């Protein structure tokens, strides 16, 4: 939305952005932005609280009165995510000769297949298929451990699409393994990045690509911005 704001402004349409990731708003610098430190997916903060939401919108529209820009204002209230942790057992190591994340991804394949059979559809496939996910993780493992990212063989050359497919593969498999009620999106995100080897590998590869001087869009969107 921050990028689109520039497009609309160039056409003479005033814009206001509700920012969810401050680093993006700082980098893209939309003309007017109200940064809201709320859980992702809740741009207006508190569900079923019209008073809070109306106040938030009033603060946002007040940015139109600024005499110059770009303007970036922080909403005064921070709302913490309240998703319950995911209880999802990961498979034990099977082949210690493989990188842990690759072995882990292979171990999740049966759960992924059950999810696919039950739902009949998958969101894996932007850059790699389910069969190719372990290889893609192996590429990220190599990058995180010092391989030159431009020569590592990232499938399709698209870091963002590859990471999307890996996360989706894990999350679809996890829905077959969750103990208890189905989790919200942020809880699943926390599980992936904080409990899985693949999540740790992805964060390591992202940091390595960033530190190698890659363009912002190549590394930043590999994971959610707050990561």
> Higher-confidence residue: 105 or 87?
105
Phi-psi region of 12 (alpha: psi -120 to 50; beta: other; left: phi over 0): left
- What pLDDT, in 10s, does the model give residues 149-206? 999 999 999 999 999 999 999 999 998 887 665 555 577 888 899 999 999 999 999 9
Buried b (16+ CB within 10 A) or exposed e, 130-161: bebbbebbbbbbbbbeebebeebebbeeebbb
Output the pTM of the full model. Answer: 0.70
User: Distance between CA atoms of 145 and 171, rounded to whole angstroms?
Assistant: 25
pLDDT number for residue 170: 95
| pLDDT number for residue 199 | 96
Q: Could you report the per-residue pLDDT of 21-34, keeping only the tens digit for each?
A: 888 889 899 999 99
In this structure, the number of other CB atoms found within 10 A of the CB of residue 27 comes to 13
Nearest CA to 89 out of 176, 155, 218 is that of 176
């Amino acid at each position: 939305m921050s990028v689109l704001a520039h497009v609309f402004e160039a056409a003479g349409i005033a814009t206001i952005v509700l920012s969810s990731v401050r680093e993006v708003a700082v980098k893209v610098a939309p003309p007017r932005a109200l940064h809201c430190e709320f859980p992702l997916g809740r741009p207006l903060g508190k569900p079923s609280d019209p008073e809070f939401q109306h106040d938030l919108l009033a603060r946002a529209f007040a940015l139109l009165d600024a005499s110059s820009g770009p303007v970036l204002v922080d909403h005064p209230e921070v709302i913490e995510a309240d998703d319950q942790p995911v209880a999802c057992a990961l498979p034990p190591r099977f082949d210690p000769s493989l990188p842990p994340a690759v072995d882990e991804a292979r171990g999740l394949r049966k759960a992924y297949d059950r999810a696919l059979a039950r739902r009949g559809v998958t969101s894996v496939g932007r850059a790699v298929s389910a069969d190719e996910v372990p290889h893609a993780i192996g590429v990220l493992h190599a990058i995180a451990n010092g391989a030159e990212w431009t020569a590592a063989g990232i499938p399709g050359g698209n870091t963002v699409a590859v990471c999307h497919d890996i996360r989706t593969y894990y999350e679809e498999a996890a829905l077959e393994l969750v103990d208890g009620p189905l989790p919200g999106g942020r809880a699943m995100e926390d599980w992936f990045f904080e409990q899985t080897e693949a999540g740790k590998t992805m964060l390591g590869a992202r940091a390595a690509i960033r530190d190698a001087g890659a363009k912002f869009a190549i590394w930043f969107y590999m994971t959610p911005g707050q990561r």
